[in-house]
Structure 1
Amino acid sequence: MKYRLGDLLYIKGRIGWKGLKKKEYLDKGDYRIINGTNIINGKVNWSSCGFISKERYNESPEIMLKANDILITKDGTIGKVAIVEELSKPSTVASGIFILRNTSPNIWITKYLYYYLQSYDFKSFIHSRIEGSVIPHLYQKDFESLSIKSPSLEEQNTISRRLELIDKKIDLNNQLNDNLVELINLIYLKFCADFPAKEKVSLDDVFNTSTKTFNVNENKNINIWHFSIPNFDCNKQPQCESTNSIKSNKKKVNSFGVLVSKLNPNFKRIWAPNLDFYSNYSPIASPEFIQINGNSQEEQALIFCILNSEEYTDFLVSNTTGSTNSRQRVKPKIAVSYIIPFDLDKKKGLESLVSPILKDIQQREFENTKLQIIKDTVLNKYF
């Protein structure tokens, strides 16, 4: 049987900010505010959330979060979903997010709804509503009017458990990789302290930063690996896509290249893929990424160390242009002017330490890409 979402779910979004200004976001506090960049890999990254005052929080009781609420982004990068499994502090959402609350547990299992929102069927629905829009936006009335199939609770539970097993493996790989990235950061900090730079040498002085353009009109009807901002934000996995779905030219991703986003650099987006894993199709990247290229896997690991450091992120943030959070960017020529903080004569020692760790990270990232393909196959089977 099919049910209309608006009849059986609580669906709410924030309408305006009632004059809330950027300066009213707090670095710490008791009342958290979630925006789209805080939704990663189907979860809320609580450590990246900002805060608002108690007075601002209390202005909108209809969007105060509860455990098991589902969040979905409705502006910009549309369709990122997360499930709120725990709440250690009172939390609410920014204007670009809908809250979905299951008010019909006799008909729906919350996890089943969560997985439906990741299905091809739902993505097709989103595409049909935003195609041709100057500013992509998912409207609440359209969302509420959507009807979806509701199998028995037993079948919903079976479907959810199978998909959850894949998610748990992806989560475990991400946790292991996060720990390895932290290890790389510690090695890098110690190395910089032991071998401080003797000369002022920039990234552009040492590494190749040129990138060839991938012309979409000259490459019709072929598959590519797409390293895009939305794909990074959703699950940090490139997507295998057809060029027919891509409207603008992209950048070719080079062997041993490292991608760093010039868009909103306060939210760190860094990719150092092993292209041996993606050799079946051409790898391309969004123009929002700046690419810095090494000549070997060892140099790629070295570049990753530098670009992933907090010092480099601070450098990018301090050199952004643009008046709003959603449009802040750093110019590529500024991004590659960063002065390398260690003695280049000693770089071989750093490369030998971090290169095996990066290889391990890359292997798990590709495993997650394969797991995501399996998950998409399962989603398409059931939805």
Structure 2
Amino acid sequence: MTSNWKTCQLGELVTFTSGGTPSKKKAEYWNGSIPWISAKTMKDEHISTSDLMISEEGLKNGSRLAPQGSILFLIRGSGLFNGIPICLVDKPVAFNQDVKCINSISEIENKYVFYWLLSQASMLSAIVGVTTIGAGKFDMDVIKRLEISYPEKEVRNEIIRIADAISDKIRLNTAINENLELQAQAIFKSWFVDFEPFGGVMPEDWRTGSLSEICGYSKDKVNIEDLTLETYYSTENMQPNRQGAVQATTLPTIKQTTACKKGDVLISNIRPYFKKIIYCFADCGCSTDVLCFVPNKSEYSTFLYCALYSDKFFDYMVAGSKGTKMPRGDKQQIMMYPICIPSTEYVEQFSKIVAPMLEIVYTNRLEANDLAILRDTLLPKLMNGEIDVSEVKI
């Protein structure tokens, strides 16, 4: 670190504001126009909306608004054991009591603090405590005493520019993938659900059958020693639907696992995560908490992926899941899922249109992984002055 860097406690540079939850008994507090953020909403590094909305009355009577440009930081919840959710606020949002809003009260930019926090992910994970009910928590006195180093404004801006360039490319890839997935699903629904090209009526040479008629489950095994972190999937490291890719951290200690081939489709078989899905573009392996669907014919691969990606299939898996602590899909019942079985001609036509889209999605995910690794490697070194920003060309 160069001599012109300063070091002080984080609490001297920023404020930490608590949120809250409006009463669920007051209907007038909910279903308004203000996004309300909780732990399960903090899935992306940028946040602007939520699946839960509160009203102006709800905001006044139980919550607080995080301004645009501030940082949301999860301080309590079981999710802390799987990572540290830290989000930049793109549009004003309300937030609950398990989240802190961080805002600069100094010369230091919020974005610099944001990237500094990301660079400290390993250290933050190491100081997560446990509540009396087993959830994760941070001691805010400890967080406020964390020492943060920072250079002069010109260097800070360059660090932010470098980090932004990588992050923006990851976000662009994600946005492209979301669009391609939506296009693929729209075509699938038009052809094989609504039958729009055929006047809304299923062609006479098509029929309704069950999922078992086009696929089965993988029964093959692969040695763990033949896999890498990038070719082994469990619920924890599967590509979440409509999200950036997540890498595995370690391989299991078992000798063998389920073998998956190019063209297979993987879906998490734990109920909260049924929407995690992967189209295999290369041979890989998966854990017992993942279902590997093997198409009976190679031409069904793309068709199968789109059928399993749909909300209709997700709802079917949820309805048939069994278990209390960790409900799983019923493998036999899943194979009874009713599905349109079209003629080979249209399956092949569909594949010619959609398969290239899925290949772009796959390529973008690989690039996003590489970029995430690059950023996570660079940030700690940039943030402690180990790398001169003038030497980084992006």
Q: TM-score range, shorter-chain basis?
A: 0.7 to 0.9
For 1:286 and 1:45, the matched residues in 2 are separated by: 34
Q: Write out aligned runs for 1:3-152 (5 A).
A: 3-14=8-19, 17=21, 20=24, 28-44=31-47, 46=49, 48-61=50-63, 63-73=64-74, 74-78=76-80, 79-87=84-92, 91-104=93-106, 106=107, 108-119=108-119, 121-130=120-129, 135-141=134-140, 142-152=142-152
- Asked if the contact 2:233/2:248 (under 8 Å) is kept, the reply is no
Over 3 Å counting, the alpha-carbon distance change for 1:173 and 1:347 in structure 2 is same
- Asked if the contact 1:223/1:241 (under 8 Å) is kept, the reply is no
Normalising to structure 1: TM-score of the pair? 0.77
Report how far residue 51 of structure 1 moved: 1.4
Tell me the equivalent position of 2:392.
none
For 2:184 and 2:101, the matched residues in 1 are separated by: 37
Percent identity of paired positions between Structure 1 and Structure 2:
21
SS in 2 for 1:77: helix
Over 3 Å counting, the alpha-carbon distance change for 1:131 and 1:20 in structure 2 is closer
Q: Write out aligned runs for 1:181-260 (5 A).
A: 181-192=181-192, 193=195, 194=198, 195=202, 199-210=207-218, 224-225=229-230, 227=233, 229=235, 231=237, 232=239, 236-239=244-247, 241-243=249-251, 253-260=260-267
For 2:90 and 2:304, the matched residues in 1 are separated by: 36
- Gaps of at least 5 residues in structure 2 are 1-5, 384-394
Cα RMSD (Å) = 3.9
Over 3 Å counting, the alpha-carbon distance change for 1:348 and 1:100 in structure 2 is same
Tell me the equivalent position of 1:171.
171
- Asked if the contact 2:77/2:136 (under 8 Å) is kept, the reply is yes
Q: Write out aligned runs for 1:361-380 (5 A).
A: 361-380=361-380
Superposed CA offset, 1:216-242 (max 9, x none): xx769x952254555545953131533
For 1:140 and 1:287, the matched residues in 2 are separated by: 36
**Number of equivalenced pairs:** 361
Report how far residue 84 of structure 1 moved: 0.8
SS in 1 for 2:103: strand
- Asked if the contact 1:255/1:293 (under 8 Å) is kept, the reply is no
Normalising to structure 2: TM-score of the pair? 0.75
Superposed CA offset, 1:115-135 (max 9, x none): 12222x332331343599983
For 1:296 and 1:219, the matched residues in 2 are separated by: 29
SS in 1 for 2:229: strand
Which structure has the larger Rg? Answer: 2
SS in 2 for 1:271: strand
Superposed CA offset, 1:331-362 (max 9, x none): 44444432113425442332222112211221
Report how far residue 82 of structure 1 moved: 1.6
- Asked if the contact 1:251/1:287 (under 8 Å) is kept, the reply is yes
Tell me the equivalent position of 2:313.
312
Report how far residue 162 of structure 1 moved: 0.4
Superposed CA offset, 1:148-176 (max 9, x none): 22222222211110011111222222222
Note if 1:354 corresponds to 2:358: no
- Asked if the contact 1:66/1:84 (under 8 Å) is kept, the reply is yes
- Asked if the contact 1:116/1:122 (under 8 Å) is kept, the reply is no
Over 3 Å counting, the alpha-carbon distance change for 1:31 and 1:125 in structure 2 is closer
For 1:25 and 1:332, the matched residues in 2 are separated by: 41
- Asked if the contact 2:244/2:368 (under 8 Å) is kept, the reply is no
For 2:306 and 2:88, the matched residues in 1 are separated by: 32
- Matched letter for residue 259 of structure 1: L
Report how far residue 70 of structure 1 moved: 1.0
For 2:285 and 2:235, the matched residues in 1 are separated by: 12
For 1:24 and 1:341, the matched residues in 2 are separated by: 43
Superposed CA offset, 1:12-52 (max 9, x none): 3446x5763799995x4222212334334412262x52113
